[in-house]
Structures are given as structure tokens and as C-alpha cells.
Amino acid sequence: MKRYRFLVNGRVQGVAFRYATQDMARTLGLTGWVRNRADGAVEGEYQGSESCCTKLAAWLEQGPPAARVDSLHADEIQLFPGETVFTIRPSV
């Protein structure tokens, strides 16, 4: 099991990025969260098997069809035990 915190910059708000990320994470069996930031970026965390985390990271580099990802930054962080779903959090 791995957990990552990520930050995506580009045209990633107003293009269903959070919803598509949630759908992809759930399809891969990952848990975590995603939200918009006031600076126009999208941030979140995801947790699961290393192979599924790698697949989501590759997907985040492209995003949904209407998005334009300029950069993706992800860092491995401590696991969050007991988390059971992938959610969309309120924007900050």
C-alpha cells in the first residue's frame, strides 16, 4: 500500500477534473480525496496498491479530455488507515 499527495496545474478547473479523478480512482479501487484550490490548481491524495497508484498518476498527467495539464507533482506520504472511499472535498 502507498499513499500520495498530488498537485496538478494547468487548465484543470471547470473541466470536470475532480469528478473524472474520482471516477478513475474508484475504478482503480483507490481511496482518498480531491479538491480545487483558490490558485486554480487541483490537489488531493490517493491510496492503494502501488500498481493502481501508478496508473492514477499516469492518468493525472493527462486528465479528462477538456483539461490541459501543465504539471503534476506527487509525493509519497504516510498511509491513512481506515479510509474506505475516494471523495470530492470542498474547494479551498
pLDDT computed for residue 68 by the predictor: 98
pLDDT computed for residue 15 by the predictor: 97
Active-site entry in 18, 26, 68, 89: 18
Q: What are phi and psi of 77, to 5 degrees?
A: -130, 180
Query: Which stretches in the chain have pLDDT values below 70?
Result: none
Active-site entry in 3, 5, 11, 36: 36
In this prediction the pTM is 0.96
pLDDT computed for residue 47 by the predictor: 98
Quick one: CA torsion of 10, 13, 14, 15, rounded to 10 degrees? 60
Q: Is 9 a catalytic residue?
A: no
pLDDT computed for residue 39 by the predictor: 97
pLDDT computed for residue 30 by the predictor: 98
pLDDT computed for residue 67 by the predictor: 97
pLDDT computed for residue 55 by the predictor: 98
pLDDT computed for residue 62 by the predictor: 96
Assigned architecture for domain 2-79: 2-Layer Sandwich (3.30)
Q: Is 26 a catalytic residue?
A: no
